[in-house]
Structure formats: C-alpha cells, structure tokens
C-alpha cells in the first residue's frame, strides 16, 4: 500500500471539502490589486504585501498564519479562501493542493485570483479567465496568465486590472534580488510593482501582514507586522513610512546597534531629560555630570517608556543607536520649532 502524500487522512480531506468548501463566500466584491505572498524558510516568517484601488484592502486580501502559510485572495474576492486555505495547510495540504481544493469547489472560480505559499516554501497562483486585464501571476519558477494554476517555490506574485505584465515581473524580480528580512523584501517588491505600472485605475489602499512565532509586542502572539492603509493618495509611500515606524517601535534591538552610554552620550541624555519644557515632565533632576548612574538609568527607562520605545528599553549600560538617533532628531525638531 502506498503511503499517503499528506499528513491529513483522506477522509478528513473529504470532510474539509464538504464542510468548509461548499459554504458560500462571505464576500464577493471586486478587489483589483497586485500582491505577493512569500515565506522565509530560515526565519519561519510568512507574509503578504498588497496594494489596490480599493479601500481598506487589509481585511479582504491578506491572510497568514505562523508556521502554516500565507494567502492573497483578490479580484472578485472569495474572502473565505483565507481561513479555509489556512485550515487546509494547517492540516497538511501544500500550497498547490490547497489552491486546487479551493477553486475546485468554487462555481465563481473564473472571477477569482489567488496566491498561496506554504511553510515549506511551495507556492501556487491562480488567475481566473474572467479577471479584468491585465491579469496574471508568477511564482519562483513559473509565469502564467488566465485559466492556469502555476506552481513554484518561495513566493507567488499576482495582479489584475494592471497596466501590464511588468508589474508582476517587478514584484517577482525585486523580491528575488532584495536582501534583508522577508518584510523588507515584500515592501521593496510592492513598491517596485507600483513603479512598474500597478493598478491601471490608480492607488488607494495597501497592507503588509507578516507572522512569526512569538514575535508579537509582548511575545504572546505571532503578530510580527500588521500595517494597513485604509484610504490614501499615495498608499505605497505611506506603507514605507509606517513600516519604518513599526520597525523602530516594535522590533527588538539588534546586537550591532548597541553602544555603551559613554560620558558624552550620557550628558546629552541628561540634558534632554532634565528639560521639563520638552515633555512637560523632568525625567531627570540630578546634576549634569555625564555619569550613567542608577538615577540616570531609571530616568532613561522612564523616558523611553514615555516615548514608546518599550521593546528597546535596557537595564544595562548600552543604548540602541536607532533609538538614540530618534531621540536626537525629535529633540532637535522641537528646539527648532520653539524658535521665534
């Protein structure tokens, strides 16, 4: 007897198909967009980046679950593809199997566009024959237009109502050529797709969703990045701005960015924290002596908490250079604005 390819038993596949896949879609709205779903098999990150001429794309298109996979459901979106697809992958189906089950049970499959990646890095994309031109997709090793399931590795990029194929090509090539974290690569790919043409009706909303096990604010969730631009004249630029903010306030310090609080840095921080006019609170009331003593450490912890650098607060003699530079920039800006 041959060993089944899936971890999930055959009877459970049938059950899932009947119970989940024959339910009617909860939403059938045109979500013309371009997106990329991807996984980093080294870090375990899974995520989706998406931009659309459609308001509030975040609750419709991107779906992801840590150590499971990621899904983008668009065009006349069947939103239920998100949770149902993740359920299938959680129970052992790979990206292609999941995609074929989802569209195989959907009578409106020709109006759908879907991209899926699983935790092993297998990817699949579908563009229905009724999707508005230009419409198509690419994976790590394949490209395809309407009416074809394409499969590959690492990522799936797709779009509809695009200026042209160049948008999807830019998504794929930029993702493959960009260094950095999965999120860095997703943002770079999405921005490149916009510059290559994007949605031919223009821009309106965007989202970035990345999941990583235990990477949430207090390590109790997998919500590593969840950024949504509901309605904006330039959502891709806004996504870049918000992603930079998110990294500063939600990412933990990297070893390479830690430096000792020497006398010069300490004096600078003591002067800022002693200035009651700056924040309406004098966090430090001691002398300006440049000694990083317990009073100064406690003042800096309180100041960093006040300024929302929560996850970068330290209890040793080091400070994160990214935080230090942000403190300096904000203080200089405040001083300039006070001048008559």
pLDDT digits (tens, 9 = 90+) for 220-277: 999 999 999 999 999 999 999 999 999 999 999 999 999 999 999 999 999 999 999 9
pLDDT value, residue 8: 45
Residue range 75-85: mean pLDDT, rounded:
96
Residue 215 has pLDDT above 60, yes or no: yes
Average pLDDT, the chain: 91
Work out the pLDDT band at 13, boundaries 50, 70, 90: very low
pLDDT above 90 coverage of the chain, percent: 88
Residue range 196-215: mean pLDDT, rounded:
95
Residue 37 has pLDDT above 70, yes or no: yes
pLDDT value, residue 32: 67
Residue 125 has pLDDT above 90, yes or no: yes
Residue 6 has pLDDT above 60, yes or no: no
Residue range 42-47: mean pLDDT, rounded:
96
Tell me: the pLDDT tens digits for 141-164? 899 999 999 999 999 999 999 999
CA–CA separation, 35 and 156 (whole Å)? 8
pLDDT value, residue 306: 97
Residue range 10-23: mean pLDDT, rounded:
39
Work out the pLDDT band at 29, boundaries 50, 70, 90: low
Residue 24 has pLDDT above 50, yes or no: no
Instruction: Spell out the domain ranges in the chain.
Output: 12-250, 256-338
pLDDT value, residue 339: 78
Residue range 60-68: mean pLDDT, rounded:
97
Tell me: the pLDDT tens digits for 133-145? 999 999 998 999 9
Query: Regarding the domain with residue range 12-250, which homologous superfamily does it belong to in the CATH classification?
Result: Aminohydrolase, N-terminal nucleophile (Ntn) domain (3.60.20.10)
């Amino acid at each position: 007897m041959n060993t089944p390819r899936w971890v999930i038993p055959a009877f459970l596949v049938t059950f899932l198909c009947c119970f989940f896949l024959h339910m009617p879609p909860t939403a059938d709205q045109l979500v013309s967009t371009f997106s990329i779903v991807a996984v980093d098999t080294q870090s375990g990150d899974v995520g989706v980046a998406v931009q659309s001429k459609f308001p509030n794309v975040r609750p419709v298109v991107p779906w992801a679950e840590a150590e499971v996979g990621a899904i983008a459901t668009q065009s006349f979106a069947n939103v239920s593809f998100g949770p149902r697809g993740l359920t299938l992958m959680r129970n052992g189906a790979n990206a292609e199997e999941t995609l074929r089950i989802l569209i195989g049970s959907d009578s409106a499959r020709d109006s759908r566009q879907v991209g899926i990646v699983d935790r092993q890095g297998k990817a699949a994309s579908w563009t229905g024959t009724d999707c508005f031109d230009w419409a198509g997709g690419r994976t790590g090793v394949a490209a395809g237009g309407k009416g074809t399931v394409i499969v590959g590795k690492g990522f799936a990029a797709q779009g509809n109502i695009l200026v042209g194929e160049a948008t999807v090509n830019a998504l794929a090539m930029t993702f493959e050529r960009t260094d950095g974290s999965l999120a860095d690569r997703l943002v770079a790919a999405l921005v490149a797709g916009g510059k290559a043409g994007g949605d031919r009706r223009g821009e309106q909303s965007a989202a970035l969703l990345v999941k990583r096990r235990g990477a949430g604010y207090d390590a109790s969730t997998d919500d590593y990045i969840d950024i949504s631009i509901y309605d904006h004249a330039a959502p891709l630029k806004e996504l870049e701005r918000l992603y930079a903010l998110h990294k500063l306030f939600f990412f933990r310090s990297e070893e390479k960015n830690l430096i000792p609080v020497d006398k010069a840095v300490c004096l600078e921080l003591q002067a800022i924290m002693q200035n009651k006019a700056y924040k309406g609170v004098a966090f430090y009331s001691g002398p300006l002596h440049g000694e990083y003593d317990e009073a100064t450490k406690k003042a800096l912890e309180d100041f960093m908490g006040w300024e929302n650098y929560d996850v970068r607060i330290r209890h040793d003699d080091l400070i994160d250079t990214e935080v230090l530079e942000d403190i300096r920039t904000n203080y200089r800006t405040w001083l300039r604005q006070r001048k008559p």
